[in-house]
Structure 1
Amino acid sequence: MILEIQPNIHCENCSKCGRRPHVEQQKKFWIVTCPNKDCKNFVKGELVNIEGWNKINKPNTSLNQKQDFKKTA
């Protein structure tokens, strides 16, 4: 069974393709997964783990910031 995540729930988009994930139920496990099967991006657990999904799909802002390096030697 596939369920869409409501828009008012904070959930990061997939870091690989940018699509919003959905929730699947398989027997006793809940899987937060990307609808694009080529990404193979998912979080599996006995409860719906949106926080775990957000941790692995967090936008990396440190790559966008310019770092200033100083010579020490």
Structure 2
Amino acid sequence: VDPFDPLDFKSWAVGGCSPAIPAVLELFQHLTDSGFKVFLITGRDIDSLGKATEQNLVSQGFIGYERLIL
């Protein structure tokens, strides 16, 4: 995947196979378990990648965030 090629990146992201970074997931879970409201911010397009991004986050363990901002 070439992250600088918009079509290549979009095809990869729609596939929903973006693995979680273990340390980021651990921090996320610690914060949500501690009662923090976590907002996730991406630079992705909501129309073409919104649903795939949400599904991928859940499949990787990012459950309980307050809001996803694309």
Shorter-chain TM-score above 0.5: no
Q: TM-score range by the shorter chain?
A: under 0.3
Which structure is higher in RCO with an 8 Å CA cutoff and minimum separation 6?
A: 2
Structure 1 or 2: more helix by fraction = 2
Structure 1 or 2: more strand by fraction = 1
- After TM superposition, the score normalised by the length of structure 1 is 0.23
- After TM superposition, the score normalised by the length of structure 2 is 0.24
